[in-house]
Structure 1
Amino acid sequence: MQKYILKIIYGKPLTYSSNELYAEANILDVRQLFAMQIVISVYRGKINLTVADHPYSTRNKEHIRPKASKTIGKRVYTYLAPRIYDLLPTGAKKSKNLNQFKRQSNFWIRDCGRGKINKIINQFY
């Protein structure tokens, strides 16, 4: 619906490229907004990331990532939160206030593009 409404607003044909449309409109698509909401919730502390407190060098040494046995469980907010938050640049994670964090996160999500955010959300690992 978002793409369709944007195409009507900007007077574009239905076959117009969605990537170009979002770039022209300078807004985030639904999946990018979802990723943005996840990282904001982690920053505010609404989603607690469990920190690994062992001396071993592991692949996921920053946060313990929850596991899901079913595909539907891999689309849950709490499953995706540590995966997306760990991909954020360290400058964004160390922001002193929420507005600065939102700005830096928004730039990162825009730089990643629609395709990469879609792969992050849909990738089951």
Structure 2
Amino acid sequence: MHKLSLAFVATLATLALAPVTAPLAQSTKPPSTYEPTPETSCADPLGFLRRVYERELDGVSDPARVWVRPICDGEEVGSLRHAGNAGALRARIAGNAAMMQALDSKNFLPDDVVGVKMTAPDSVILFVHRFLH
């Protein structure tokens, strides 16, 4: 009877831990990877950007702390220019040497920036989409 009780407890413990470990095994992509499904848009990440103030961009002075991330690459999305939070920031981006160097290294212009995400006081992700100029 004692062996039966131990086997029963071991089975319950295994079943109790299964839901906790299953989600960990399913995710193989890094959390920053976003792949749109037919129900979503490639521009969906832009809807989750918080407001960035011009003075925050002044803290970025090293081009190595600027990440340029293309979004909706290869898709024609006319309304994308207004979907993000970069509208009022493009002039400040154009005046920032570090951001311009990072954009230029990837062949983008300040007008291509559609979203801005501050990741630290001195680092930023610029979401870009190549528009016809």
TM-score by length of 1: 0.20
Higher Rg of the two aligned structures: 2
Higher helix share: 1
Higher strand share: 2
TM-score by length of 2: 0.20
